Each structure stands twice: as C-alpha cells, then as structure tokens.
Amino acid sequence: MMFEGTVFKFGRNVDTDVIIPARYLSTTDPQELAAHVMEDIDPGFVGKVKAGDIIAAEENFGCGSSREQAPVAIRAAGIACVVAVSFARIFYRNAINIGLPILVCPGAAREAGSGDLLRVDLDRGEVTNLTKQKKYQGDRFPEFMQEIVAAGGLMNRVKEKLAGGRPGSS
Amino acid sequence: MGMTVTEKILARACGRDAVQAGEFINARLDLALANDITAPLAIKEFEAAGAKKVWDPERVVLVCDHFVPNKDIRSAEQAKFVRNFARRQGLSNFYDVGRMGIEHVILPEKGLVAPGDVVIGADSHTCTYGALGAFATGVGSTDLAAGMATGEVWLRVPETIRFNLKGTPGKYVTGKDYILYIIGMIGVDGALYAAMEFAGGAVAALSMDGRFTMCNMAIEAGGKSGIVAPDAVTEDYCRGRTRRQPVMLAGDKDAAYARVVDIDVAAIEPQVARPHLPSNAVPASELADLKVDQVVIGSCTNGRIEDLRMAAEVMRGRKVSPHVRTIVIPGSQEVYRQAMREGLIDIFINAEAAVSTPTCGPCLGGHMGILAAGERAVSTTNRNFVGRMGHVDSEVYLAGPYVAAATALAGTVAVP
C-alpha cells in the first residue's frame, strides 16, 4: 500500500478524548463522527482536511480511552495514513483491526511539519518527505500482524474461522 | 529462565509450558466485556462477520454504565440496542439500570473475575482486574467482537515492569496517591505495551479496593495491564464470591523484568495530577489556594466502599463550600447499599453533596456533572485530558478521596 498526502502535524500524547470527544459517542455512524474529529485539539481540522491527507504525530498517539470511534472517525474524515513516533497500544490494535493504515516511523513523524507532502510505502515501512526531500525507514508490522492486515482486518479472519477454515492459527 | 506472573497466566491460557515477552499468542478467554458505548460497534462487527451465537453466554458480560440512566434519546437507543442483543443471546451477565454498577466495580464484586483469568474488555480500564492476579487488558470494539465470537484473543506477551513499593505510608496516602506518583515518575507512556506489576510490602498492605485503584490506572502510563500477584488478601476477597476456582500463580525468582523500580512510600505525599495529563502529579500541598467549582467522588478508579469511607471520614459533620458542587457516585448498587448501612450517605447529604445512582457519567464528560468554560474540578477519576469532563476550556485535577473531600469542604485544593 502506498499513500501520498499533505501532513497535519500533531504533538505528543494526542488522546482519544480530543480525537473524538465523548459527547459525540452516542452514535456509531462514521460520517457523523468524522464531522467532529480532532475538534478539541484543532477546531479547524474538519474544515481543512481532504481525502488522502496524512496525520503525523509524536509519541503515544491515541492514548487514553479504548473507543474505536477514534480511528473510525480519522478514517472517515479521509485521512489515508497516520505516521507517529509511537502509538498507544489500544489505538494501534484498533487501527489495524479496522483497516486504518498506521506506521511507526520516529524520524519522519518528528521532522514532518504541517503542509509537508509525505509519501508512505506501508509494505516497505518507508516514508519520504517530498517537501524536505528526505527518506526515513519505519517499523514494518510483525509477521503476525501482517497476516491480519493482509486478510483485510481481524473480522475477516474470524469469518474464516467461523466458516470452519483455519482454526486459531499460530 | 523463569517467568513473571503475567507470563505464567498467558502460558496457561495458550496451553503451553512457557511463553516469553515479545511472542505473539492466541489466548483462551475467561471473560469478555463491553459497555453501552463500545458494545454497539462490537455487536455490529460481530453480526457483520456472520456470527450467530457468542462463544459462551455466561462469559460475555455487557454493562450499561457510561451514558445510563439514559442521558438523551440517542444514548437510550444505544442502550436499547445492547439490551436487545443481550436478550437475544441469552447472556446471563447483562447489567442494566437498578442492577448495574460501573463495570470495573461490579465484575470483581460479583465474582466474575478470578485469579489466573485472561480477560479482555472494550474499555481501557479493564486493566483494573489485574488487582485479582488476573491478566486483564482493554481492547477496542472489533477485538471484542472477535473475542465474543471465538473465545480467543491474539496478544503480544508484554514485558513486565516491576514496581517494588516498600515502607509505611503517611496519613491520608492511599493507593491513588501511589499510582499518581508512579505515573508522574514514568510518564503517560512510561509503561507503553508493558505489564505493570505492583509488589512489595506497601502493596501487600493494601486492601483489595486500594489495589483495584492502582491497577485501574496502569493504562494512564500506557500499560497493557496492571497486576498484583495473588496473596492472602486476594484469597479472602474471592472466598464465597468468585464463581470459578482461583488459580493462584506467582512469578519466579529468576523472572526477567524489563525494569525494576523501587519506591519508598514514606516519601509520597497526597498527590494531585494537574491538567491535562495524569502524569502531571504534584503534592497536593503545592496547590493550596487553587479555587475549585466541582468535586467528583466516584468512578471505576475510586467508587468503592473504602473510597466512600475515606470521603465520609473527612466530611462527617461538615458542609461543603458554598462555591463547590460536590457529586458522590457509589460504584455499584452494593456499594451504595453498604454506604447507606454505614451512614455514609447521610454524611454526604448532610454535607450538602449530591449522591447519584452508579454511572461513569461525569468522568468522561457524559452527563451528571459537566463543566462549563473556565470551570475547575477536583475528581477521583482517572483522566484529566483537554475537555474530558466538559468544555474544552475546563480543567480536571485528579486526586484520591481524602484530598477530594477536603477540597470540597475548603473550596480550594486541600489535604485533610
């Protein structure tokens, strides 16, 4: 998977309460959630974001609540990929499970600024900052997780299992 | 190489003699949990995958606690959706208004979690059950959907960071102060992906309620789980309560820890975490004179009977400041009844505090105590992120029940 998009840059410890505040959690509709994504950290975000844009963030992106509405809202807002120095673990799992592309790439995430043009090669774990003309190597998913991504998300694996396909592998 | 208590629990859950940190495993679940805001997504994923029946109707637990009693029509629709699913599936552990409590208070209370268990919950504070010597971790709705369908979860075996707490705490220093101090020391990602194991004499001396409070906030340091190896206190708590036979596991002497942190609790003062991160912990004494508009005492962190006893000890015979709205929320029907029996509810009402039926309500800015712009709360909850309890320009200071109660009386941050 390859993405090219404009960066929205965020700092450290962006929590899921600012990604999608609890006052909007009485719905599971992705578009409705997307209408409020990042509202409490960047009120102008929803008005500016375009399909294919990329979020770059520093340490511990997605910390706090386990609400899956956070990656759902980010994806529904059109964000193609999130590149961070590190992710909080529940957000990381949720993103993989719902098919929001994410990559741990500390150098690229730290040095990218809002408005930079980024190219992300998820399969190689490579990020190129086209604005700064610099290339970075990120962490590829461990093999176990690549299988989930390749299956198109966790529930596709569950479907296989329910259909009597592969019993709980590895 | 020996194993930590967490590695032993996970080895058992995947049918192996040993596992090591860093390995990926499929673990058998003892329990899977969701609430009224995470279950709807999980149920939709479960049904979209073509799943018909949950893997075990006694081991899938649904609790309506976040936006109930229904705060508006839309939250009523969500709770109804969860309720209907629970009925269709014949779940024996579905907890609704009048029978419910905050999920992480009632699951242990009703004996649904046993030492040695592996539990996932679509709620980040599922790590609370580590206090019972179980492996328990928060997941999202899709992981929960997969767990409900298969009775399994994939996990990366976490490294363990061991916190040895020794010494005797000063007066008014509680499990909440220990955990705020630890998060302040290591940061909100200081235990990212790791199991936080709490040990040492000061942890052994904590009641179960104090241990629940500590393990509850492991997630606020980025932890995958918190755990206290089960001991006599755990066994006492489980006796006559826990429905399954407890599996009492202990770490090996030569277990490998990513890090060992020694802490002398005698040096810990009552703590307060300033906005907007739980790691902004400072001694409460440094914040004297800071005016407060609201105090909340409750939540999955501090809504148990011992917490209410601490608050009542401070508020007995006194009245809260006329400038402070004080809201006390017992964590379960059982905690509520026990507090009534002990006269604690009278103390709160006489002090001019509001007492509510159990709900997560204000902690996450849902209902029952939302803050206006510029307002400030001291709360025994677990998060003080931007906008967590209401307006984006409001502030939450996290503290234990003693400091919260003393603050309610003084109108400014105070220690009893």
Neighbours of B279 (CB within 10 A): 20
Tokens of B183: 């998060």
- In angstroms, the CA A27 to CA A29 distance is 6
Cβ contacts (< 8 Å) between A88 and chain B: which residues? 189, 192, 222
Q: Are B198 and B231 in contact (CB under 8 A)?
A: no
pLDDT, mean of residues B323-339: 98
pLDDT, mean of residues B202-206: 98
State the helix-helix crossing angle for B401-410 and B305-315, rounded to 10 degrees.
Answer: 30
Cβ contacts (< 8 Å) between B141 and chain A: which residues? 68, 94
Assign A153 a pLDDT band (cuts: 50, 70, 90). confident
Same fold, B5-262 and B271-410: yes
State the helix-helix crossing angle for B141-150 and B39-48, rounded to 10 degrees.
Answer: 50
CB contacts < 8 A (A, B): 148
pLDDT, mean of residues B310-329: 98
Q: Which tens digit of pLDDT belongs to each residue from A9-45?
A: 999 999 999 999 999 999 999 999 999 999 999 999 9
- In angstroms, the CA B294 to CA B411 distance is 9
Cβ contacts (< 8 Å) between B365 and chain A: which residues? 17, 21-23
Assign A168 a pLDDT band (cuts: 50, 70, 90). very low
Q: Model-level pTM greater than 0.90? A: yes
pLDDT, mean of residues A113-129: 96
| pLDDT for position A165 | 56
Q: Chain B residue closest to A15 (CA)?
A: B385
SS3 B281: strand
B37: alpha, beta or left? (left if phi > 0; alpha if psi -120 to 50): alpha
- In angstroms, the CA B78 to CA B37 distance is 7
User: Which of A121-125, B17-21, B163-167 is least confident?
Assistant: A121-125
Cβ–Cβ below 8 Å for A63 and B51: no
Give residue limits of the domains in chain B: 5-262, 271-410
Beta bridge mates, A127: A120, A136
Going across the sheet that includes B376-379, the strands are B281-283, B271-273, B395-399, B376-379, B294-297, B325-328, B354-355
SS3 A56: strand
Q: Give me the amino acid identity at A167.
A: P
Closest residue by Cα to residue B159 from B193, B135, B126, B182: B193
Residue whose structure tokens are 């001396």: B205
Residue A169 predicted with pLDDT over 80: no
Tokens of A69: 């509405």
Cβ–Cβ below 8 Å for A170 and B78: no
Neighbours of B384 (CB within 10 A): 24
Cβ–Cβ below 8 Å for B44 and A86: no
Q: Are B223 and B196 in contact (CB under 8 A)?
A: yes
Phi, psi of B117 (to 5 degrees): -70, 160
Q: Are B329 and B368 in contact (CB under 8 A)?
A: yes
Residue A152 predicted with pLDDT over 90: no
What percentage of chain B reaches a pLDDT higher than 90? 99
Neighbours of A112 (CB within 10 A): 26
Cβ contacts (< 8 Å) between A154 and chain B: which residues? 142-143, 146
Q: Which tens digit of pLDDT belongs to each residue from B106-115?
A: 999 999 999 9
* CATH code matching the domain that covers B271-410, chosen among 3.30.499.10, 3.40.190.10, 3.30.70.1400, 3.50.50.60: 3.30.499.10
| pLDDT for position A161 | 84
* Residue B224 or residue A140, greater confidence: B224
Alpha helix ranges (H) inside B166-246: 175-186, 201-204, 208-216, 232-238
Assign A170 a pLDDT band (cuts: 50, 70, 90). very low
pLDDT, mean of residues B184-210: 98
SS3 A39: coil
DSSP state of B125: G
pLDDT, mean of residues B201-223: 98
Cα angle, residue B4 at apex, residues B235 and B224 outer, rounded to 5°? 90
Identify whether B69 is preceded by a cis peptide bond (ω within 30 of 0): yes
Q: What is the mean pLDDT of chain B?
A: 98
Q: Which fold has domain B5-262?
A: Aconitase; domain 3 (3.30.499)
**B385 min Cα distance to partner chain A (Å):** 7
- Burial (0-12, 13-18, 19+ Cβ within 10 Å), A106: middle
Top residue of A10, A25, A69, A85 to mutate, by most chain B CBs within 10 Å, is A25
Residue whose structure tokens are 């997630």: B219
- Which residues, numbered 200 to 239 in chain B, qualify as contacts with chain A under a Cβ-Cβ cut-off of 8 Å? 219, 222, 224
B60: alpha, beta or left? (left if phi > 0; alpha if psi -120 to 50): beta
Residue A162 predicted with pLDDT over 90: no
Cβ contacts (< 8 Å) between A151 and chain B: which residues? none
* Residue B243 or residue B231, greater confidence: B231
Beta bridge mates, B238: none
Q: Which tens digit of pLDDT belongs to each residue from B115-133?
A: 999 999 999 999 999 999 9
Top residue of B118, B124, B280 to mutate, by most chain A CBs within 10 Å, is B124
Tokens of B247: 């599996």
SS3 B282: strand
DSSP track, A81-128: EEEES-B-HHHHHHHHHHT--EEE-HHHHHH--TT-EEEEETTTTEEE
User: Which of A55-59, A112-116, B47-51, B241-245 is least confident?
Assistant: B241-245
Q: CB-based contacts of B313: which residues, under 8 Å, 6+ apart? A: B402, B405, B416
B154 touching chain A per CB within 8 A: yes
Identify whether B276 is preceded by a cis peptide bond (ω within 30 of 0): yes
Q: Are A51 and A79 in contact (CB under 8 A)?
A: no
Q: Which CA distances in Å does A62 have to A13, A123, B330?
A: 7, 22, 29
Strand A54-57 with A2-10, pairing:
parallel
pLDDT, mean of residues B405-410: 98
Cβ–Cβ below 8 Å for B189 and A86: yes
Total number of residues shown for chain B: 416
A66: alpha, beta or left? (left if phi > 0; alpha if psi -120 to 50): alpha
Q: Which CA distances in Å does B171 have to A86, A109, B296, B310?
A: 39, 46, 22, 11
SS3 B33: strand
| pLDDT for position A167 | 44
| pLDDT for position B1 | 82
Cβ–Cβ below 8 Å for B49 and A155: yes
Residue B287 predicted with pLDDT over 70: yes
Q: Which tens digit of pLDDT belongs to each residue from B242-262?
A: 988 999 999 999 999 999 999
Neighbours of B65 (CB within 10 A): 29
Cβ–Cβ below 8 Å for A69 and B41: yes
